[in-house]
Amino acid sequence: MKSDINGTHIGYEVLGNTGLPLVLIHGFGLDRSIWRNMLFEYMPDQFVILPDVRGHGESDAPNGPYTMSQLADDLAGLLHILNVDKVIVCGHSMGGYISLAFAERYQQQLAGLGLITSRAEADSETKRESRYNLVERIREKGAVELAESLAPHLSKDETIIRETYERIKQTSPLGLIGASQAMAERPDRRDLLPKISVPALVVAGAEDQIVDLEDAREMSSLFPNAEFFAIPNAGHMPMWENPLVLAKGLLDLIARASH
Ligand code: MLT
C-alpha cells in the first residue's frame, strides 16, 4: 500500500489484527520487508504496521535534507490515515531515532517504546563528518557506496551481509542522502528517556559492531520502566539473526503495554 502523507507517498503494510497496534520501523538503507519472516514465524496474528521510511523501500525519495521530526510526522500521518491512535513504536537503529522523535512529539499516542540496536545520543563530531563524507560519495557513485561500507558491519553471517548489500544498493541515493542528513543533525534525546513512563524495551545484539552492548544497557537504565534484552548470536540485525528471541522481547513489551 501507499498513501499520500505530508505531500509524499509513503509505502506501508498492515499485518494481523490481534492486540495493541505495533509499529516496526526499519533501519538506514533497508525497508519494511526486514520484519516479515520474524512476524510470520513467531507473531503471526499480531496487529503490526510496517512503514517504509521516506526515501526507502516503496516510499518516495524527495530531495532532503530530512529531519527526524519530519520522519516522525510521516508516521503520525500514516497512523491518522489508518485511524489508529495508541501504538507501541519500535525502531531498528535509525528507526529507533525516529521512534524517539515520535515519542517526543506524540507522547499521548505512545503505549510502549522499543529501541532495537539503536541509541539516544546525537552523533559525535567525527561521526557527523563521516556521514557528510558518505553523502558526497553517494552523490558521486550512488547507493553502492553505502552498501559497501555498511553491509559488512551489519552481521557476521555472510548470507545476511550479501542480502543487506543488495537491498542497500537498490535504495534511492536521494533517500540515503536525506536520511544521512537527518541522522547527522538529530539532537541528543537522552534527556527524554526519564520522561517516557510507558513500558520500554531496549534490545542489543551481543555481537553488534555498530551499537555497543554496554552503551545500550546504560541507556536502558535511563528509562523509568524498561526491560533490557541482550540477544545472543546477533549483531545489528537481530530480526534475522535471532528472530525468536527478538519476538519474545516484543511480545513481552506488548503484554506489559496492554495492562
Ligand atoms: C542503521 O542501521 O540504521 C544505521 O547504522 C544507523 C546509523 O548510521 O546511525
Give the pLDDT confidence score for residue 259 in this predicted structure. 85
User: How many helices, marked H, and strands, marked E, lie in the chain?
Assistant: 10, 8
Furthest C-alpha separation in the chain: 51
pTM, whole model, 2 decimals?
0.98
Task: Please tell me the distance between residue 183's alpha carbon and the centre of ligand 1 in angstroms.
Answer: 8
Tell me the pLDDT tens digit for each residue of 1-60: 888 998 999 999 999 999 999 999 999 999 999 999 999 999 999 999 999 999 999 999
Q: What angle do CA 53, 55, 57 make, to 5 degrees?
A: 65
Distance CA 159, CA 156 (A): 9
- What atom in ligand 1 is closest to the CA of residue 93? 3
**Mutate which of 94, 160, 239 to test ligand 1's pocket (most atoms within 8 Å of Cβ)?**
94
> Which amino acid residue places its CA nearest to atom 9 of ligand 1?
94
At residue 3, the pLDDT reads 85
81 Cα: distance to centroid of ligand 1 (angstroms): 28
Query: Closest by alpha carbon to 94, among 14, 175, 182, 35?
Result: 182
93 C-alpha to ligand 1 centroid (Å)? 5
pLDDT score, position 2: 85
Question: 104 is written with which cell numbers?
Answer: 517526543
Atom of ligand 1 nearest to the CA of 94: 3
CA of 174 to the centre of ligand 1 (A): 16
Residue numbers in the chain where pLDDT is lower than 50: none
By CB neighbour count within 10 A (0-12 exposed, 13-18 middle, 19+ buried), where does 192 fall? middle
Which amino acids bring their CB within 6 angstroms of ligand 1? 27-28, 93-94, 183, 210
- The 2-5 sheet, strands edge to edge: 2-5, 8-15, 46-51, 18-25, 87-92, 110-116, 200-205, 226-231
To the nearest 10°, the Cα dihedral for 118, 119, 120, 125?
Answer: -130
User: Which residues, in sequence order, are bridge partners of residue 83?
Assistant: none
Ligand 1 centre from 105 Cα, in Å?
22
Q: What is the pLDDT of residues 217-230, one digit of tens each?
A: 999 999 999 999 99
CA of 155 to the centre of ligand 1 (A): 13
pLDDT of 10 reads 98
What's the pLDDT score for residue 141? 97
The DSSP secondary-structure symbol of 208 reads -
